[in-house]
Amino acid sequence: MTLHKGSCLCGAVAFTIKGDLQAFFLCHCSRCRKVSGSAHAANLFAPDATITWESGEKNARIYSHPETRFGRSFCCECGGALPRKAADGKSLVIPAGCLDTPVEINPTAHIFTASRANWDHDLETVPMYDELPK
């Protein structure tokens, strides 16, 4: 049984997840691009995991997109992504970036690549810097 710890950006919300991470999807759909502001979301799925809120649970907000199964959870103070129950009510969906402990699985797949951003291609050929370039 794996333990993962995570928190939001401002630190108000902290949580512990008990259970194994079973899938890791990089979703390029337009909704995930809107809420992440980036090329894709990076969500872990843990079907049998449980979450314990260590602090700040009252800061957690859930947005459910009307007439869809799409939703997200975030800290109302900093906007940082937080885990939530999937639409099926069972699986825990964990935005990978909110975890403070290492993720032991590699991404399973890119999904919804048909709706990827027009600039989202050949990214491995773009120059890389360890920090902000001078």
Query: Where do contacts with Zn ion occur on this chain (CB under 5 A)?
Result: 8, 10, 12, 27, 29, 32, 75, 77-78, 80
Cβ nearer to Zn ion, comparing 2 with 10: 10
Cβ nearer to Zn ion, comparing 6 with 80: 80
Q: How far is the CB of 130 from Zn ion (least distance, A)?
A: 27
Cβ nearer to Zn ion, comparing 2 with 30: 30
Residue of 31, 50, 46, 52 lying closest to 93 (CA atoms): 46
Cβ nearer to Zn ion, comparing 2 with 87: 87
Instruction: Put the strands of the sheet holding 3-7 in their side by side order.
Output: 3-7, 14-18, 50-55
Q: How far is the CB of 41 from Zn ion (least distance, A)?
A: 5
Q: How far is the CB of 122 from Zn ion (least distance, A)?
A: 21
Q: How far is the CB of 11 from Zn ion (least distance, A)?
A: 7
